[in-house]
């Protein structure tokens, strides 16, 4: 049958064959859809979505690819055989987010767990084409929170923008589909808890990559405070009352083999409150020998600004005692200072200042 068909086809003239093809195409309906050849990771990494290859900033995905690359499990998820839908923010979407007042200018300065949570919020299980995203539809993300579709087809998330536009829809991959969006999608929990504290001392610490252990301690301390009718640490650090925070970084906690689980919520509450001086924005020039400051924990921070006037015991620097173990009249006690001011004025915010310290000011 096949050979007979070929012989029969050769009898037709070229015009007749062209007419036959035209009729065949018309009878078949729409043109056959192109079959995708790339998975989601390959698709968003392709030249078509690279700004360097000529794609517009609002249609480029270089930033998304770079940030996803920090989390191999997300790359593996989107590069596997299971189908997913990815809402992909463009380069301009990330640029706009990082330009938000009070937001870290470099995404590497943000707590990596927060970044991962935000990226996971852009991933939905299964293939959800634009036609499936009808008004009122709610889809659960890999971050476990939902994205809701507005009546006009825009997306409602925890972002201050409650109508996020899908710039380009139904970019099909072998394992799902990609929708390019004009704004980074923010999980509702992040929008509720972090957006209001941008530009405050709380924002710097809770968002900051160098302060993830301190942020975990604050979370545990806040749970204790809420259960015991005390002001939360977050409310103090985000409040309008000016204050100064002497903040240990992750490196300090690691050096002391301290993790979030080292202390109870009650202990964290006392320790962190002992690093906060309420009602004062303490400048580096205020950190003079013999000066003391009352802490939110009811303790006292004693300052020793080491100079040639007093023979050095710890080296030149600004040292702090938070538990009363140092007597400035007894040089032998100088070795018991709790911390050194490593980076004065590390951050200046609307409600105060943060000095980074090496050490922990444990209360009495």
**Residue 122 included in any domain:** yes
pLDDT of residue 228 exceeding 60 = yes
Are residues 221 and 173 located together in one domain of the fold?
A: no
Q: Which of 131, 166, 190 is the C-terminal boundary of a domain? A: 190
**Predicted pLDDT at 3:** 41
Are residues 345 and 227 located together in one domain of the fold?
A: yes
Terminal alpha carbon distance of the chain: 96
**Residue 173 included in any domain:** yes
- Reading the block at residue 45, the tokens are 């990494």
pTM of the model: 0.84
Q: Which of 190, 210, 243 is the C-terminal boundary of a domain? A: 190
**Predicted pLDDT at 15:** 43
**Average pLDDT over all residues of the chain:** 90
pLDDT of residue 358 exceeding 90 = yes
Phi-psi region of 200 (alpha: psi -120 to 50; beta: other; left: phi over 0): beta
The number of beta carbons lying within 10 Å of the beta carbon of residue 10 is: 8
The dihedral sign for the CA sequence 119, 125, 127, 129: negative
Are residues 107 and 217 located together in one domain of the fold?
A: no
Are residues 206 and 312 located together in one domain of the fold?
A: yes
**Predicted pLDDT at 16:** 43
**Predicted pLDDT at 334:** 86
Are residues 179 and 204 located together in one domain of the fold?
A: no
Starting at the edge strand that comes first in sequence, how are the strands of the sheet with 292-294 ordered?
276-278, 243-248, 352-359, 339-349, 318-321, 300-305, 292-294
Task: Name the pLDDT band for 7 (thresholds 50, 70, 90).
Answer: very low
Are residues 266 and 283 located together in one domain of the fold?
A: yes
Domain count within the chain: 2
8 Å CB contact between 345 and 236? no
CA 76/CA 88 separation, integer angstroms: 16
**Predicted pLDDT at 314:** 54
**Residue 11 included in any domain:** no
The string of pLDDT tens digits covering residues 89-101 is 999 999 999 999 8
Boundaries of domain holding 322:
199-359
pLDDT of residue 4 exceeding 70 = no
8 Å CB contact between 247 and 344? no
**Residue 235 included in any domain:** yes
pLDDT of residue 49 exceeding 90 = yes
**Residue 116 included in any domain:** yes
**Residue 84 included in any domain:** yes
The string of pLDDT tens digits covering residues 278-302 is 999 999 999 999 999 999 999 999 9
Are residues 169 and 261 located together in one domain of the fold?
A: no
8 Å CB contact between 131 and 169? no
CA 105/CA 116 separation, integer angstroms: 17
CA 74/CA 199 separation, integer angstroms: 30
In sequence order, what are the beta bridge partners of 359? 339
**Predicted pLDDT at 313:** 54
Are residues 212 and 343 located together in one domain of the fold?
A: yes
CA 348/CA 332 separation, integer angstroms: 35
CA 155/CA 175 separation, integer angstroms: 23
State how far Cα 70 lies from the chain centre. 12
Are residues 214 and 289 located together in one domain of the fold?
A: yes
The string of pLDDT tens digits covering residues 22-39 is 444 444 445 567 899 999
Q: Which of 145, 165, 190 is the C-terminal boundary of a domain? A: 190
8 Å CB contact between 248 and 357? yes
The string of pLDDT tens digits covering residues 97-148 is 999 988 888 899 999 999 999 999 999 999 999 999 999 999 999 999 999 9
For the domain that residue 318 is a member of, what is the CATH number? 2.30.180.10
The string of pLDDT tens digits covering residues 139-182 is 999 999 999 999 999 999 999 999 999 999 999 999 999 999 99
Are residues 203 and 180 located together in one domain of the fold?
A: no
Report how far apart, in Å, the C-alpha atoms of 230 and of each of 13, 119, 221, 236 are: 91, 34, 10, 11
**Residue 22 included in any domain:** no
**Residue 102 included in any domain:** yes
Are residues 133 and 263 located together in one domain of the fold?
A: no
Are residues 176 and 296 located together in one domain of the fold?
A: no
């Amino acid at each position: 049958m096949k050979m007979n068909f070929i012989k029969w086809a050769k009898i037709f003239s070229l015009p007749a064959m062209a007419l036959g093809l035209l009729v065949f195409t018309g009878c078949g309906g729409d043109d056959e859809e192109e079959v995708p050849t790339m998975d989601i990771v390959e698709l968003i990494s392709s030249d078509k979505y690279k700004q360097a290859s000529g794609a517009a900033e609002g249609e480029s995905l270089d930033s998304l690819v770079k940030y996803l690359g920090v989390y191999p499990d997300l790359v593996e998820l989107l590069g596997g055989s299971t189908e997913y839908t990815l809402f992909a923010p463009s380069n301009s979407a990330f640029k706009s987010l990082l330009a938000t007042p009070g937001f870290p200018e470099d995404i590497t300065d943000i707590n990596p767990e927060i970044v991962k949570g935000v990226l996971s919020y852009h991933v939905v299980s299964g293939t959800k084409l634009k036609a499936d995203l009808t008004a009122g539809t709610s889809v659960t993300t890999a971050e476990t929170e939902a994205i809701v579709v507005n009546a006009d087809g825009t997306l409602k998330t925890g972002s201050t923008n409650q109508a996020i536009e899908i710039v380009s829809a139904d970019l099909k991959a072998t394992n799902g589909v990609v929708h390019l969006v004009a704004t980074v999608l923010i999980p509702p929990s992040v929008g509720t808890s972090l957006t209001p504290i941008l530009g405050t001392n709380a924002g710097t610490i809770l968002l900051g990559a160098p302060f993830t252990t301190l942020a975990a301690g604050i979370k545990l301390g806040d749970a204790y405070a809420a259960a015991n009718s005390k002001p939360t640490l977050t409310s103090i650090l985000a409040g309008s009352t000016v204050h100064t925070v002497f903040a240990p970084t992750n490196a300090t906690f690691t050096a002391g083999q301290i993790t979030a689980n080292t202390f109870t919520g009650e202990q964290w509450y006392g320790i962190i409150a002992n690093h906060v001086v309420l009602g004062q924005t303490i400048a580096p020039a205020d950190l003079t020998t013999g000066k003391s400051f009352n802490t939110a924990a009811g303790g006292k921070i004693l300052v020793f600004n080491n100079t040639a006037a007093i023979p050095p015991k710890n080296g030149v620097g600004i040292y702090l005692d938070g538990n009363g173990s140092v007597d400035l009249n007894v040089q032998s006690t100088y070795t018991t200072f709790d911390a050194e001011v490593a980076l004065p004025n590390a951050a200046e915010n609307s409600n105060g200042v943060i000095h980074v310290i090496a050490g922990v000011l444990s209360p009495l």
